[in-house]
């Protein structure tokens, strides 16, 4: 058994990852089983550099607010702002404090300096403007879409004015009220104003679509792409807020589903632009159905990776990351009868594993599911091996 598994292991290099796949995927998804560890982000950064230099990848997309990510993209492509400003305003979830993320942005800017636009690297956040305890107001996205259209189409085609949007939105703290996550009655998502905004947003997105040839001629592909992002984000947030205000048992299933749907829509748009490395939690990128318990209720939904894979087929590839220890988090040597335990027995500190061959090697019955002593770490589910193209295994994660 150990010999069979060892035969599936390769050095952690872009060439080894690509060697597991039938062809270069349009979206290469690299998952991580926990957040906040720069060891894993440093590994991601090195793989991205190699993919850029060896495989022609030009975009990296991470699990961060898609609207804030525009700040990072402007900086790496054209030098807008300063690195400090970008790290403060260009990331959600606290990712801007990461030294590895800072190094990624610095390297991308240096790489792009002096290169023509067609060769520049691009950055994208692909998460919605959502945090665990709150969702953003749709104002920024919908106002930006309206402004883009108002500058380029006849006024009579617009379904509303900017003043109408401002009146309907009201104060932003009505939308960002953290109490709404636990108490649907605190949400404005099913108010008369929110319902009207959803209809107006739908009209504005339809106008963007129906005027595509004119808009591409009147602006640029990048400008049109951003307008599409504004539209996806505005309609996604309005839909999310609608379900935040719902009192039915389906509420939480809808909320987790809608977040991954917003992610999937952003990834599919990026796939149109060319090959991209996608980095996020394994759970957002897996092909298998996602499950969790929240407030004692079981939830099931399809992740962004599952939704994108259903659309792109072989042009989507998923490489999960598995870990041995994170001792500063209380994650010690894995039991030998788990997937992580089998990989921990290998001599390599880091390796890329052929997941389908590993699944064949472990046979039936499957290894046990590792139990995490820390809620922030998600071990690999052995039942999901068949839906993984490769595994990056890191034996020990040291404290940053």
Average pLDDT over residues 194-211: 98
Which pLDDT belongs to residue 1? 46
**C-alpha gyration radius of the chain:** 22
DSSP code for 130:
B
pLDDT in tens, 90-118: 999 999 999 999 999 999 999 999 999 99
For a pLDDT cut of 70, what percent of the chain falls above it? 99
Q: What is the mean pLDDT of the chain?
A: 96
Half-sphere exposure of 123 (CA within 13 A, CB side): 31
Which pLDDT belongs to residue 57? 98
Which pLDDT belongs to residue 103? 98
Task: Measure the CA–CA gap between 194 and 185, rounded to whole angstroms.
Answer: 14
Burial of 225 (0-12, 13-18, 19+ CB in 10 A): middle
Smallest CA-to-CA distance from 60 within 83, 91, 22 is with 91
Burial of 177 (0-12, 13-18, 19+ CB in 10 A): middle
Minimum mean pLDDT among 50-59, 135-144, 321-330, 353-362: which range? 353-362
Residues 6+ apart with CB under 8 A from 255: 240, 243, 244
Task: Measure the CA–CA gap between 188 and 174, rounded to whole angstroms.
Answer: 7
Minimum mean pLDDT among 75-89, 204-218, 362-376: which range? 362-376
DSSP string, 209-274: HHTHHHHHHHS-HHHHHHHHHHHHHHHHHHHHHHHHT--STTHHHHHHHHHHHHHHHHHHHHHHHS
For a pLDDT cut of 90, what percent of the chain falls above it? 92
- Terminal CA-CA length for the chain: 34
Give the torsion through C-alpha atoms of 111, 116, 120, 125, to 10 deg. Answer: 130
Q: Is 260 strand, coil or helix?
A: helix
Task: Check whether 63 has a pLDDT greater than 90.
Answer: yes
Q: Are 124 and 266 in contact (CB under 8 A)?
A: yes
Task: Measure the CA–CA gap between 65 and 21, rounded to whole angstroms.
Answer: 29
Which pLDDT belongs to residue 363? 84
Which pLDDT belongs to residue 400? 74
pLDDT in tens, 31-41: 999 999 999 99
Which pLDDT belongs to residue 6? 77
Which pLDDT belongs to residue 3? 47
Average pLDDT over residues 190-205: 98
pLDDT in tens, 109-143: 999 999 999 999 999 999 999 987 889 999 999 99
Tell whether pTM > 0.95. yes
Six-digit token pair at 209? 């679509």
């Amino acid at each position: 058994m150990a010999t069979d598994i060892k035969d599936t292991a390769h050095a952690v290099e872009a060439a080894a990852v690509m060697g597991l796949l039938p062809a270069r995927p349009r979206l290469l998804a690299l998952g991580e089983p926990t957040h906040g560890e720069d060891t894993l982000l440093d590994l991601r950064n090195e793989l991205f550099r190699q993919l850029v230099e060896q495989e022609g990848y030009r975009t990296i997309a991470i699990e961060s607010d898609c609207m804030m990510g525009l700040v990072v993209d402007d900086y790496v492509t054209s030098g807008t702002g300063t690195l400090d400003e970008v790290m403060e305003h260009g990331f959600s979830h606290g990712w801007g404090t990461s030294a590895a993320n800072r190094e990624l942005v610095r390297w991308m800017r240096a790489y792009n300096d002096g290169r023509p636009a067609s060769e520049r690297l691009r950055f994208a956040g692909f998460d919605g403007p959502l945090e665990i305890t709150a969702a953003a107001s749709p104002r920024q996205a919908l106002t930006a879409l309206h402004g883009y259209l108002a500058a380029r189409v006849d006024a009579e085609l617009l379904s509303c004015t900017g003043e109408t949007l401002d009146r309907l939105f009201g104060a932003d703290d009505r939308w960002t009220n953290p109490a709404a996550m636990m108490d649907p009655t605190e949400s404005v998502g099913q108010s008369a104003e929110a319902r009207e905004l959803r209809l107006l947003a739908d009209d504005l997105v339809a106008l963007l679509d129906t005027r595509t040839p004119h808009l591409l001629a009147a602006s640029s592909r990048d400008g049109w792409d951003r307008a599409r992002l504004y539209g996806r984000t505005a309609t996604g947030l309005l839909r999310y807020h609608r379900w935040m205000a719902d009192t039915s048992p389906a509420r939480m299933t809808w909320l987790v589903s809608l977040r991954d749907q917003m992610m999937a829509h952003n990834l599919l748009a990026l796939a149109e632009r060319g090959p991209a490395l996608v980095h996020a939690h394994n759970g957002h990128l897996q092909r298998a159905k996602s499950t969790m318990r929240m407030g004692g209720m079981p939830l099931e939904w399809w992740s962004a990776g599952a939704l994108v894979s259903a659309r792109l087929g072989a042009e989507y590839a998923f490489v999960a990351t598995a870990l041995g220890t994170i001792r500063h988090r209380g994650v010690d040597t894995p039991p030998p009868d788990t997937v992580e335990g089998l990989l921990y027995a290998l001599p390599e500190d880091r390796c890329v594993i052929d997941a389908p061959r590993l699944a064949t090697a472990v046979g039936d019955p499957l290894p046990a599911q590792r139990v995490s002593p820390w809620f922030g770490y998600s071990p690999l589910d052995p039942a999901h091996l068949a839906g993984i193209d490769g595994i990056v295994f890191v034996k020990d994660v040291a404290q940053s």
